[in-house]
Structures are given as C-alpha cells and as structure tokens.
Amino acid sequence: MDATLRFTVTDDDTALAVGSGSLPVLGTPRLLAWLEAATCAAIDPALPEGSTSVGTRVELEHVGASAVGQQVEVTASASYVDGRLHRFTVAARNVAPGGGGGSGKVVATGEITRVVVDAERFLSRL
C-alpha cells in the first residue's frame, strides 16, 4: 500500500492563513492534511465495502520550508499492518525545478496510524 500525491503551495496553505504561524510558507497543519490524504489514497483501494479508515496517531517532523508556488510531493508507504491497524511511513519533498519527483529537499518525515472501521457503525456512536 503506497501512494504519492503532489500539491502546489498557495496563499491559503500558508502558516499565516491557517493560523499556525506568521510566515507565508507552507503551514504544518496543511502539510499534515496532505500527508493524511496520501495515507487515505494508499489504504482506500484495499478497504472492504462499507468501511473507511480514521486517523488515530500522528508523528510528524516538519524540517524545511516550502514557499508559495512550490510543488510538494507527499508519499505514504505501509510499514505495519495488524488486522484493522495500518501504520504508514510518510514524507514530503519540495519538487526540484523542472518537475523531477523525489529529487528535491526533504521537508517532512513521520508516521501516521489509521484504523479501519465500519463507517455506519462509527457514525452511529457519535
């Protein structure tokens, strides 16, 4: 289970816009959302009918900045599966000029855990 997604940083994605800082660079909350989207893209094809997955744990180290206009490639790779529990290694890189994927600076690494649930049953408990 692997997935790679690519996003372009806009003004709406900045720390300033999402309230996580005062600089016009990619905000950690937006980066986390992109990484979670990659985990969903990786796990969704394997889910049984009527099931979904929910995030339960995040460990993220955001180590580099991404400017407005920068393309960012996010990846998720399954690193551990035990029944309903799925753990993903995640990473983000700034895409190098010219569009070469994976050749730019690493801006984040981490791990995201998701648990498979029955969607209807999960919602009925709220």
Q: Above 80 in pLDDT, residue 101?
A: no
Domain boundary assignment for the chain: 2-124
Specify the pairing of strand 106-118 against strand 71-82.
Answer: unpaired
pLDDT score, position 46: 95
Pick from 13, 21, 29: which is nearest to 67 by CA?
13
pLDDT band at residue 17, thresholds of 50, 70 and 90? very high
Q: What is the mean pLDDT of the chain?
A: 95
pLDDT score, position 96: 85
pLDDT score, position 123: 97
pTM to 2 decimal places: 0.94
3-state class (DSSP) for residue 16:
helix
Q: Above 90 in pLDDT, residue 104?
A: no
pLDDT score, position 121: 97
Give the containing element (helix H, strand E) for 2: strand 2-8
Pick the CATH number of 2-124 from 3.10.180.10, 3.30.540.10, 3.20.20.70, 3.10.129.10: 3.10.129.10
* pLDDT tens digits along 44-59: 999 999 999 999 999 9
* % pLDDT > 90, the chain: 93
Region class of 21: left (phi > 0), else alpha (psi between -120 and 50), else beta: left
* pLDDT tens digits along 64-79: 999 999 999 999 999 9
Give the containing element (helix H, strand E) for 33: helix 28-43
pLDDT score, position 103: 64
**Which tokens hold the place of 72?**
């960012």
pLDDT score, position 100: 60
Per the CB < 8 A criterion, the answer to whether 34 and 7 are in contact is yes
